[in-house]
Amino acid sequence: MELEDLVQPESVVAHLKVTSKKQALQDLSERAAKLTGLSERAIFETLLERERLGSTGVGQGIAIPHGKLADIDRLHGLFARLDTPIDFESVDDQPVDLIFLLLAPESAGADHLKALARISRLLRNPAVVEKLRASEDASALFAILTEPAATNAA
């Protein structure tokens, strides 16, 4: 699974201005609704439901909120670089400044897990994370997320 299958240039946000986890999830739900045609409320509620099970803040300033929806036709990803890090109740208690949102069809069992693993591997690569944090525009972020070198290094 390649990240080009999950994110498009229009699903990358270079300067997300939010002050809380809830606000971040609301903003990303709104953006995801526009990209997928799904209800913003359904996306937001799905993400909140997943967060209740345990934070998707995986540590080192990274969060990977995700959820499954009945009315989605394929896996969709959104990436956001926050202007100011926020508390995400992460496993290491560090504030989050990079968020990769993943939405999947309810029937996408293995594909959903493969996509989460692929995203996690990429975002555990210190060189990739450093480039993402240093980039100021969406096209540069998209290029970093989808570059073949990132795949090989991760």
Catalytic positions, written as ranges = 66
**CA pair distance 108, 98, nearest whole angstrom:** 25
Helix (H) or strand (E) holding 63: strand 62-63
SS3 25: helix
SS3 137: coil
Specify the long-range contacts of residues 89-92, CB closer than 8 Å, at least 24 apart: 89/21, 89/51, 89/55, 89/57, 90/55, 90/57, 90/58, 90/59, 90/61, 90/63, 91/55, 91/57, 91/58, 91/59, 92/59, 92/60
